[in-house]
Chains A and B, each alone.
Chain A
């Protein structure tokens, strides 16, 4: 039997599609991304435009027809904001922060991990000891303290999230690339006059990429959850750009009196987003785990 060489990415995609739940989750993620990206076109109201809000519409239940003449499908919040619009815009903020924090963490962590694996010796010992030390510390505590140190704002929040998360990327990059590093073909490549950069970027990095992508998806979801937790505790973003976490936190005081929708709907949006991302990441991890391959 002759087998044609199939690119690993194509192979991954074929096997990914075998699981219907994971495929469904991927579609959900795609839909949410589209909704968030085109929020200004889809949302019935611009929630940042304070002049468009009326206090007469405040805290109305789902299905209420407000002074704008349209139906508030998910009700309104304490400022009379249409919740559906607020959620769509909130998704934008949350996703933006999650992807940003994930990407920066990926770059920093991968650099550290590959450096340690490639150079071995002292670099490996020192860098990986620091990473291990940090991994034993809960990220939420680190983020809490950093947000307190750095103050509030988008950049500060992302910095805190990156600091809380980059170590996971470093561990993964180190594990994947030190496995590659000890293979013969890398030894062979190092014996040729190829530059270190070329070996790292053309040979080691592509082989470490699949594992890193799994970590990245999970970490983006985690960054979104962490951000919403910080915002909920009142240590996240400034009020001007409410993320999903802040929308939830705004509604808590009305929850006890039965006005559940102000907190519950943003929360459901948050959970659908995080669960969908995690389902995708989870399935890719199972595919890539060589010990489970039949």
Chain B
């Protein structure tokens, strides 16, 4: 178990190193930020001084190593546009994105998995067909479009919910949260639903496919022969057997939802990290882009690691196999 973990951690470190090179070189290739930073009427002297101040006169390799050594001191650079440390900029917006993403993914899992198990348990029933139709819709319809329809229906036509923004926040542990206020929830519910729909579709499909296969297995036949009720079989045995792909996807989706939040945050003017990255791409704000991408990559690697550990906990076969 421990050698398996160590191997995974080493792998993660290698991946992070490779990602940082790719991201840095990739973002470096995007346009010239100097055109944004320096007004066209600036003198040559001012130009050179600005370029030197941002360290852009150095070679790509030098800039990279400077960036890495700063990174280890917890400094991800200064935004060109906001003139603020990138880390603080992202840190200020992260709670908004996190609460949106967590609400969406948790909601999608706790609603999607039971629906999927039912659809896999009785695949020919009318309810199962409706569930699958919903899942195909959630899978197919682009997120931005659902967001627009939600706004059109609940904000413009019915006027029940606000169309954007974050609403009242409460400070808990020094961070502002909307999930602790009623007004915050009224702002959260539309974007969270929007973000959750795609995940819901994935969870339904996964749970259904898993259940359909497990229901045909010997394990279920023996459980039935032992006289267990169908409810017990589903909740104890089937749920456990289909949980591996669900845990994987839960982890991966958590991370990819952070990325997908870009679209939802733009539509609902949710002041999270997603809006920040779109703006920084449009403004060529390199430090913000690099920091965002590297942090996201780090998040992916960490989550993948957690998923692997989760596997080992859930599936004893894997634990023993690796230890031998």
Contact = CB atoms under 8 A, between A and B. Distances in A.
Interface of A: 133, 136-138, 140-141, 144-145, 148-149, 221, 225, 228-229, 232-235, 245, 248, 252, 255-256, 258, 260, 263-264, 267, 270-271, 274-275, 278-279, 282, 291-292
A145 B304 contact: no
B227 to A, nearest CB: 27
A137 B281 contact: no
A282 B135 CA distance: 12
B259 A233 contact: no
A270 B142 contact: yes
Contact of A275 (B15, B136, B213): B136
Contact of B262 (A140, A149, A275): A140
Contacts of B289: 145, 148
Which 6 residue pairs across A and B have the least CB separation, nearest first? A138-B256, A138-B259, A141-B259, A148-B281, A274-B140, A275-B140
A292 B278 CA distance: 43
B311 interface: no
Given A133-B15, A149-B26, A233-B278, 18 more contacts: A136-B300, A138-B255, A140-B262, A141-B293, A144-B262, A144-B277, A145-B27, A145-B293, A228-B145, A232-B144, A232-B263, A258-B156, A260-B152, A267-B149, A270-B142, A271-B141, A291-B213, A292-B212
Contacts of A228: 142, 144-145
B151 interface: yes
A141 B262 contact: yes
B30 interface: yes
A278 B141 CA distance: 10
Interface string B111-147: 0000000000000000000000000110111111100
Contact of A221 (B137, B140, B252, B277): B140
A97 to B, nearest CB: 14
B91 to A, nearest CB: 20
B146 to A, nearest CB: 10
A260 B148 CA distance: 10
A136 B156 contact: no
Contacts of A138: 255-256, 259-260
B78 interface: no
14 contacts: A141-B259, A141-B293, A148-B289, A149-B27, A225-B142, A260-B152, A263-B148, A267-B145, A267-B148, A271-B141, A271-B142, A271-B145, A274-B142, A275-B137
Contacts of B259: 138, 140-141
Given A274-B141, A278-B139, A148 B152 contact: no
A225 B281 contact: no
A240 B278 CA distance: 23
A178 B139 CA distance: 29
Nearest to A141: B259
B125 to A, nearest CB: 16
Given A148-B30, A282-B136, A140 B263 contact: yes
Contact of B26 (A145, A256, A264): A145
Nearest to A232: B144
B141 A137 contact: no
B151 A255 contact: yes
Most A CB within 10 A of own CB, among B27, B142, B296, B300 = B142
B269 interface: no
A278 B133 CA distance: 11
Nearest to B212: A292
A275 to B, nearest CB: 4
Contacts of A234: 282
A292 B124 CA distance: 14
B293 to A, nearest CB: 7
Contact of B260 (A136, A140, A264, A267): A140
A156 to B, nearest CB: 12
B29 interface: yes
Contacts of B281: 144-145, 148, 235
B142 A275 contact: no
Contacts of A233: 144, 262-263, 266, 278
Nearest to A228: B142
Given A225-B140, A282-B136, A292-B212, A255 B148 contact: yes
Contacts of B282: 234
Nearest to B163: A256
A45 B280 CA distance: 39
Contacts of A148: 30, 281, 289
A118 to B, nearest CB: 26
Contacts of A145: 26-27, 281, 289, 293
B145 A248 contact: yes
Nearest to A135: B252
A213 to B, nearest CB: 18
Interface string B252-294: 1001100110110010000000000110011000000100010
Contacts of B300: 136-137
A165 to B, nearest CB: 14
A68 B289 CA distance: 48
Most B CB within 10 A of own CB, among A148, A228, A256, A263 = A148
